[in-house]
Amino acid sequence: MSSSLSFCLSVTLNPTMSEKMFIIGNEALGRAARAAGARAFYGYPITPTSEVAHYWAKQACSEKGVKDKLVFLQAEDETGAGFMLIGGVLAGTRSFTATAGPGHVLMQDAFAMAEAMRVPVVAYINQRGGPSTSTVIYSQQEVNLACYGGNGNGYRVVYSLATLQEMYDYGIKVFNTAWKYRFPTFLLGDGYLGKMMGEVEVYAPEERGIKMEPTEAYMLERNRTRPMAEIMPEPNYQLRSVDGVDYDCYRNCLNMEEQAMAVNTEIKAAFDLVAPEIIEYEEYGDQDADDLIVAHGIVSAAAKVAIDDLAKRGVKSRLFRPITLRPFPVEELRRAAKTAERIIVPESADNQLARIIKDALCGHIQAPIVEYGRPCASILPREIADLVTSKK
């Protein structure tokens, strides 16, 4: 697929304005990171995400990339890449990685540390088949891993994407979410989105009034504007001031149960406080419809097509699409589900999204939940339409 990078039809509307390009999703991600002012990529090749690395490697060795001091580092494995990413962020550089499947499994080691220490790592994750090595292109089986991987309690932000344009839009946004709130922040795509070629409008953030969050270093920052004590769980951090110099010292190995509980409690409090600001969702279709489809990612795009097709046949249906899987729009889903007579959950996994939905709706609705789990297999609009028209 690397050849597709050079096969890039672009139509320049105006050199100072946005530009429509015909590119694959992974290139859209790479371009988004560049537009967002990211400076460092640490990663390890894996299908279906490798083209993000290809794009960044080319950027880094270009004349402009050298001038901008871009960093590209292909690690020895994803575990190494994850910790290099932490190092880059600690140094105050807008840094990111891109991975998938088994690589994503390995990176959760580093992401657990990032979660414990409020380190705003950014990862573009294109889900592939699982468990194990499995298929290399498509699934929705990394929901559990992205939302709840590691040995913590899932305090990270996970956006689930449905279109190529979102790969670009959220590819920029993810950095601001990470650095503003200081949680690991992930974009969850899949191999179809990563490899699919289509029209994407690329732009500079400032053209849309998007201001990038500053990235202050965690270590060797001698002109700190935001005290780290405001961000870090208290047991994990010491500020040592000597002769007018502040030394920032971080740890994650703790001695006492009380300290470990304090870390978790503080992270949870910080997460719960900002969750309402972060939550995103989308509703589609006839809001009076009895049948409510709940789907995320590319399956939600299929659901929209199904809803439009059904409407043409006079059948009402509607979609609730969580854009953030963590934090999850719990209250918003409850409101939407309250008037539904049936809730249909199609996903390319078995009980990953459905479990989150059941957790959110438990005790709040009487309507039955119809689960349509197709682990690692695509779901066509026709299948979703059939679910709606099937006998209740």
Partner 1 sequence: MNDQDIKLAFPKCARLASKPHKFCPGCGHPEVLKALGFAIDELGLQKKTAFGVDIGCSLLAWNYFNLDSIETHHGRTIPTMVGFKKANPDAICVAYVGDGGAYAIGAGHFLNAAIRNENITVIVVNNAVYAMTGGQEAPTTLPGMKVATAPCGADQYYMHAPELVRNVNPTAFVARGITTIQVGLRKMIKEAIQHQLDGKGFSFVEVLSQCPLNWKTMDKPQATFDFLEKEMAKTYPVKYY
How far is 245 from 128, CA to CA, in rounded Å?
48
Size of the site for partner 1 (CB under 8 A): 41
Q: Is 226 exposed, middle or buried (0-12, 13-18, 19+ CB in 10 A)?
A: exposed
Q: What is the dihedral of CA 283, 285, 288, 292, to 10 degrees?
A: -70
Minimum CB separation from partner 1 for residue 120, in Å? 13
Instruction: List the one residue out of 31, 37, 39 whose CA is nearest residue 167.
Output: 31
Residue 326, helix vs strand vs coil: strand
Among 11, 209, 242, 391, interactor with partner 1 by CB under 8 A: 242
User: DSSP letter at 245?
Assistant: E
Element (H, E) at 74: strand 71-74
Residue 216 as a binder of partner 1 (CB under 8 A): the answer is no
Cβ proximity of 222 and 54 under 8 Å: no
Stretch that binds partner 1, among 193-201, 203-211, 212-220, 300-308 (CB under 8 A): 212-220
- Of the CA atoms within 13 Å of residue 27, those in its CB half-sphere come to 23
Minimum distance from CB of 39 to partner 1 (Å)?
Answer: 7
CA distance 326 to 148: 9
Residue 95 touches partner 1, criterion: CB under 8 A: yes
Q: What is the pattern of x (binds partner 1, CB under 8 A) and - over residues 283-312? A: ------------------------------
Region from 136-144, 193-201, 243-251, 337-345 binding partner 1, contact rule CB under 8 A: 243-251
Q: Which of 197, 204, 217, 369 binds partner 1 (CB under 8 A)?
A: 217
Segment lying near partner 1 (by CB under 8 A), choices 11-19, 159-167, 216-224, 378-386: 216-224
- The site map against partner 1 for 101-140 (x = CB under 8 A) is --------xx--x---------------------------
Helix (H) or strand (E) holding 307: helix 297-312
Nearest-angstrom CA–CA distance, 326 and 147: 6
Check binding of 73 to partner 1 (CB under 8 A).
yes
Report the interhelical angle of 381-389 vs 297-312 (nearest 10°): 60
**What's the min distance (Å) between Cβ of 214 and partner 1?**
15
Taking CB under 8 A as the rule, does residue 224 contact partner 1?
no
Indicate whether 67 belongs to the interface with partner 1 (CB under 8 A): no
CA distance 164 to 379: 18
Q: Tell me which of 211, 222, 312, 391 binds partner 1, using CB under 8 A.
A: 222
Q: What gap in Å lies between CA 262 and CA 209, rounded to an integer?
A: 38
Nearer CB in complex with partner 1: 217/370:
217
Site string for partner 1, 245-284 (x = CB under 8 A): x-xxxxxxx-------------------------------
Neighbours of 147 (CB within 10 A): 22
Among 20-28, 80-88, 158-166, 322-330, the segment contacting partner 1 (CB under 8 A): 80-88
If DSSP codes are grouped into helix, strand and coil, which group holds residue 170? helix
Determine if 235 is a binding residue for partner 1 (CB under 8 A).
no
Q: How many CA atoms lie within 13 Å of 96's alpha carbon, on the beta-carbon side?
A: 31
Tally of helices (H runs) and strands (E runs) in the chain: 14, 17
150 scored as a contact of partner 1 (CB under 8 A): no
Nearer to partner 1 among residue 253 and residue 256 (C-beta): 253
Among 132, 67, 60, CA closest to 102: 132
Contact status: 362 vs partner 1 (CB under 8 A): no
- Quick one: 11 or 253, whose CB is closer to partner 1? 253
Which residue of 18, 20, 58, 92 would you call a contact of partner 1, by CB under 8 A? Answer: 92
- Report the interface residues with partner 1, using CB under 8 A: 39-40, 42, 71, 73, 75-77, 79-88, 90-93, 95, 109-110, 113, 217-220, 222, 240, 242, 245, 247-253
